[in-house]
Amino acid sequence: MGFQETHRSQQQTLSRPALIAGQGLFHGIDVKVRLCPADPGTGIVFRRVDLKDRPQVAAHVDNVKSAARRTVLASRSGAIVETVEHLMAALAGLQVDNCLIEIDSIEVPAVDGSSMPFCEAILAAGLSQQLTPRMRLSVAESQGVNDRAGEQWIEVIPACHGNTTIDYRLDYGPEAVIASQSFSVELTPEAFLRDIAAARTFVLQDEISALQQMGFGRHLTGRDLVVFDADGSVVDNKLRWQDEPVRHKILDCIGDLALSGCVFVGRVVARRSGHKLNHVMAKTLSTIDVCGALLERAA
């Protein structure tokens, strides 16, 4: 797999800090997150301000820790931050390259189960361009990963234009509670805000008991996220789009692939890909020696 330089623009950070508070989705712990401006080249870094020595963990796939139904980061310094994908999607969707995220508990607040509250806080704080170029690299060769059964897969292929798109098909089978649905989006800040950011996390009613027995989500009701009953209806809530589930899967994909540390141009094609496969693809993207390739071309 190779990359070639396609475009340069300036890196971005926040103009001033932004504060978001709420309960975590899985643990229900009250938490405050402060998004702070950061120097060029910093990337996205979490800092656990509630722990001794305020340990940090970079938002990079090398720090991903295996966990069910969410993305968890853990560093050797002892910093663990859970359920980062919706915040990561907001930062990636709005093209924020550098941000120090101060967090005072183990899990990012769930807010409404989407990325929109994070986006609103970021936009209220404002964005500032930095002097350092923001490199976008074009996927030159297709790469794909799939589960053993071949029912779930994700592939990144070269794009015929200079943008990144995600084509996602959500298909749990003909007898599934959630109907098969597809969506495609070109990843611009405008399209992210309009079509993806407000899509909320979802769960099946018959999954809730098992999750709560594991200690997760005991504080939640149908008003806090999208819960699908056995007949396909939504419990105590309303969909924002009829195809909100597939839009949320794209949101998760954006947040997970941002952990590659690579801003890439290409077409992402996925079927039922979840956090685990997204992380494998992020790892694949991260293994390219981008700096070496650029230095060789510059010479």
| Segment 179-189 mean pLDDT | 96
Q: Exposure pattern of 247-258 as b/e (b: 16+ CB <10 Å)?
A: bbbbbbbbbbbb
pLDDT for residue 148: 80
CATH code of 180's domain: 3.30.230.20
| Segment 274-287 mean pLDDT | 94
| Segment 19-23 mean pLDDT | 97
Q: Which residues carry out catalysis?
A: 275
Angle at 285 between CA 244 and CA 180, to 5 degrees: 25
Q: How many domains does the chain have?
A: 1
Distance of alpha carbon 249 from alpha carbon 271, whole angstroms: 10
| Segment 61-81 mean pLDDT | 94
Distance of alpha carbon 266 from alpha carbon 155, whole angstroms: 10
Per-residue pLDDT reduced to its tens digit, 130-141: 999 998 878 888
CB atoms within 10 A of CB 142: 13
Average pLDDT, the chain: 90
Question: How is residue 28 written in tokens?
Answer: 């229900």
Torsions phi, psi of 206, nearest 5?
Answer: -75, -5
Residue bearing the bigger pLDDT, 208 or 60? 60
Statement: residue 275 has pLDDT above 70: yes
Distance of alpha carbon 11 from alpha carbon 34, whole angstroms: 20
| Segment 13-41 mean pLDDT | 96
**Domain that includes residue 167, residue range:** 3-298
Contact between residue 60 and residue 38 where contact means Cβ atoms under 8 Å apart:
no
Contact between residue 28 and residue 142 where contact means Cβ atoms under 8 Å apart:
no
pLDDT for residue 2: 44
